[in-house]
Amino acid sequence: MTQQSESTTTGTVTTEDADAPAPVSPAPVSPAPVSPAPVSPAPVSPAPVSPAPVSPAPVSPAPLSPAPLSPAPLSPAPLSPLAPPAPPLAEPRPPGERRVWPRTFHDRLTSPLPDLKAFARFAREGSVRPGRDGLADIPLLPFAPAPLPRVDARTIAVSWAGHASWVVSVGGLTVLTDPVWSRRILGTPARITPVGVPWEELPRVDAVVISHNHYDHLDAPTLRRLPRDTPVFVPAGLGRWFLRRRFTRVTELDWWEAAELSGVRFDFVPSHHWSKRSLTDTCHSLWGGWVLTAPDGQRVYFAGDTGYGHWFSRIGQRHPGIDLALLPIGAYDPRWWLSDVHCDPEEAVRATLDLGARRMAPMHWGTFVLSAEPVLEPLTRVRAAWEKAGLDRDDLWDLPVGGARVLE
């Protein structure tokens, strides 16, 4: 599997050990003895070295039971004293730059895609919808639309429209993440909660960020509502989808690349996921999350769609001081089928620690029925995991669909 470079030019990928998509554990080094007695190795440098995190310890998958788990105490991913410090952030690339990309990004997969044997098992025993008992709590799903906060350029605010769609106010810009305002998407039942933010109540949209091309994150009917000169930031290989729809300000980025708009920095960062929109385009475009950094340094991390893994600690090291992490907590059951690409609630809390984020806002639950867990279970489990980790309850922004909050 090709390892990712710190920056790329014209979409060409180079290799570099510092950011391999698979975890690497350094081999222990035994210093050569200089006398019969053991000798401690001399330090490499008198200057302190900021260690980079290695892969977090694997998390035991949650049982396929709606009952809440009692997870082990959570802690951030361990650090390796032998790992080099993270490289500096890349210089922003020109907006709207036309680039040539590889035909496929299969080499960026953290885990293999399901094979025929896995599909056969899924056909025998897999369930993609909860049973009647799991759907019984739909009336209890939190839905409380609130007015969009009116804030200045020095204040961050978020409003949850549902699923992975947020209205983010950062650095004076209004940014939409993975906007899906449609009632139904391909291959799933209709929404089980309404859209939390009416489209007509949105202010002017200054930018849109897209995490990947799955239908529950890239919704053509919603995007048709936008002016075609809206700045759009997308993963490598996805720009042509927007250009065919006559969007004129489309910026494609590779992992660890960035662009700027009105002083706000948009960094595209890795995730544990994949891409597919038709029978013939598997992994033809990249997938990932976004770190939005205001001119004063305040940061919001939008994970998009992701499983749990080593990328969280590396993102946190390159982008220290994340003020708010928007993390997925749903669509995780059955674990043998979904654990590589979707976090469960306990893993989302662990990811918050790995990132070093000060606050977490759960998403990717309570909107579309995409998997077999009971509809209210993600919320009860993430609250239990947050408490188990000993984290401040005020830093868990478990908003209802339509809810909003301002970063004080």
Band (pLDDT 50/70/90 cuts) for residue 76 is low
Q: Is the pLDDT of residue 269 over 60?
A: yes
Write out pLDDT tens, residues 113-141: 988 888 888 888 867 889 999 999 999 99
Distance CA 372, CA 126 (A): 9
CB of 402 closer than 8 Å to CB of 160: yes
Write out pLDDT tens, residues 293-331: 999 999 999 999 999 999 999 999 999 999 999 999 999
Q: What is the DSSP string of 60-125?
A: PPPPS-SSPP-PPPP-PPPB-TTSPPPPPPPPPPPTT------S--GGG-SSPPP-HHHHHHHHHH
Write out pLDDT tens, residues 179-209: 999 999 998 889 999 999 999 999 999 999 9
Distance CA 128, CA 133 (A): 14
Distance CA 212, CA 236 (A): 10
Q: How far is CA 14 from CA 1, 10, 20, 55, 93, in A?
A: 12, 11, 11, 21, 17
Torsion angle defined by CA atoms of residues 261, 256, 270 and 407, in that order, rounded to the nearest 10 degrees: -40
Write out pLDDT tens, residues 140-162: 999 999 999 999 999 999 999 99
Write down the pTM of the prediction: 0.80
CB of 77 closer than 8 Å to CB of 42: no
Distance CA 266, CA 281 (A): 26
Please give the backbone phi and psi of residue 17, each rounded to the nearest 5 degrees, phi first: -65, -25
Q: Is the pLDDT of residue 28 over 80?
A: no
Query: What is the model's pLDDT at position 187?
Result: 83
Write out pLDDT tens, residues 91-113: 999 999 999 999 999 999 999 99
